[in-house]
Amino acid sequence: MTLAEKILSRKAGKKSVEPGEYLLLDVDVALANDITAPIAIENFKKYGGKKVFSPEKLVLVPDHFVPNKDIKSAMQVKLLRDFAKEQEIKNFFEVGRMGIEHVILPDLGIVKSGDLVVGADSHTCTYGALGAFATGVGSTDIAGVMLIGKIWLKVPESIKIELHGSFNEFVTAKDLILKIISILGVDGATYKSIEFLGSGVENITMDGRFTISNMAIEAGGKTGLFPVDERTVEYEKERNITVEKMYPDEDAKYFKSLNIDLKTLEPQVAYPFLPSNCKNISEAEKDRIKVDQVVIGSCTNGRIEDLRLAAEIFKNHRVNPDVRCIIIPGSQEVYKQALNEGLINIFMEAECAVSTPTCGPCLGGHMGILAKDEIAVSTTNRNFVGRMGHPDSKVFLASPAVAAASAIKGFIADPRKL
């Protein structure tokens, strides 16, 4: 069996499962945020719900429009806060104690290897980095889970991405997943499990794996899975979680396979208006694309490893006077760690703005909205029309290294040349 088939067969209590098979499964963790939870709560009550299936397994994270930007967003979060109190949901994360949902859940050990995780947020697939079957669903699906704690899933076919070697300097996990999306296309893995395997996996850090799994959805993937290897076991052990290693079987059947040598990759830039519209940085730099704003953060690249890389680039440099650069740590813990390591000081000296954890600018919510004709380089995961503000603005997706180099230069720049 593939990794997806192994996890789902265990959840179903079956010896094996086949692609296309429908399963009614118990959910280990259900997640919703300040945009999606209000709809789920409304439907939960409409369906006659009185008590959620498990206050321990339901997680509510207000992170998209927080700190609240207006009355409407304040009312949305109040609805979550009141529901969490009413239902005695302990995993409700308030401002000052919160972070971006897909950063804090693995860090706090709320999700773990082998879990079935469903979230009313498309980037729930992030937790596949731990070897959890994690996927995004609709708000009404979450309402159903709130009621009975179960969900229907179809066993997906799987795509194998065989990785070899290790990254060159300033090439990152973000560059790898952008390259993979450019090969597969934005719908090339629709309802497929994308499984990252091969000897190169051991050279990818946990922070890097979260970045890669996070963007599986940008190729249409149902989930993006890594094996549970020594690195995963160690990560879970640090959170007092004991897990067993898990790999696919050697004779597992895959829908498609790709082989990638990490040594051959360059930093990538995804041009508007699709994450698959990628160029190598050596090519992109020739276009001399002037930048108005840079955003470093999000559920894709707001972890400590991302901030360390950005700080390495910013050290002894300043943001170009024509550019605004916004740094958003993914959680309070990441913020504190960055503070203790002196990274925040480097950002402030470089004249970056540093924000409390929020999804804000990624979805054009707040904390960095683009005006007409403005251009941003962002470490976020989507660059659709109007994604970060005005429909006539443009977003170029890149790694923290490329983003930082671009902030310094004032145009999309190669970090290897600074």
Look up the CATH number of the domain holding residue 239.
3.30.499.10
Closest CA to 331 of 102, 146, 118, 135: 102
d(C-alpha 207, C-alpha 103), whole Å: 9
pLDDT at 305 over 90: yes
Q: Are 150 and 24 contacting, i.e. CB atoms less than 8 angstroms apart?
A: yes
Q: How many domains does the chain have?
A: 2
Instruction: Indicate if 185 and 289 belong to the same structural domain.
Output: no
pLDDT band at 98 (very low <50, low <70, confident <90, very high): confident
Query: Given a cut of 90, is residue 354 above it in pLDDT?
Result: yes
% of the chain exceeding 90 in pLDDT:
97
Task: Say yes or no to pLDDT of 228 above 90.
Answer: yes
> Based on the domain organization, do 198 and 297 belong to the same domain?
no
Q: Residue 327 above 90 pLDDT?
A: yes
pLDDT band (50, 70, 90) for residue 330: very high
Examine the domain organization and report whether 204 and 353 are in the same domain.
no
Is there a single domain that holds both residue 247 and residue 327? Answer: no
Non-local CB neighbours of 286 within 8 Å, separated by 6+ positions: none
Say if strands 150-154 and 22-26 run parallel, antiparallel, or are unpaired: antiparallel
Residues 273-292: what's their mean pLDDT? 96
- pTM greater than the 0.75 cutoff: yes
Q: Are 386 and 128 in contact (CB under 8 A)?
A: no
Mean pLDDT value across residues 2-16: 97
Q: Tell me how far apart the alpha carbons of residues 63 and 208 are, in angstroms, rounded to a whole number.
A: 22
Residue 170 domain boundaries? 3-262
* Those residues with Cβ within 8 angstroms of residue 16's Cβ, 6 or more apart along the chain or in another chain: 1, 5, 9
Instruction: Please tell me whether residues 149 and 114 are part of one structural domain.
Output: yes
For 244-253, the CB contacts below 8 A with 24+ separation are: 246/3, 246/6, 246/7, 246/113, 246/114, 246/131, 247/3, 247/197, 248/1, 248/2, 248/3, 248/6, 248/195, 248/197, 249/1, 249/2, 249/6, 252/1, 252/2, 252/5, 252/158, 253/2
Kindly report, residue by residue over 105-144, the tens digit of the pLDDT.
Answer: 999 999 999 999 999 999 999 999 999 999 999 999 999 9
Looking at the structure, tell me whether residues 48 and 98 fall in a common domain: yes
Q: Does the structure show a pLDDT above 90 at 208?
A: yes
Q: Give the whole-angstrom CA distance, residue 155 versus residue 259.
A: 24
| CA distances to 79, 97, 344 from 75, in Å | 6, 19, 32
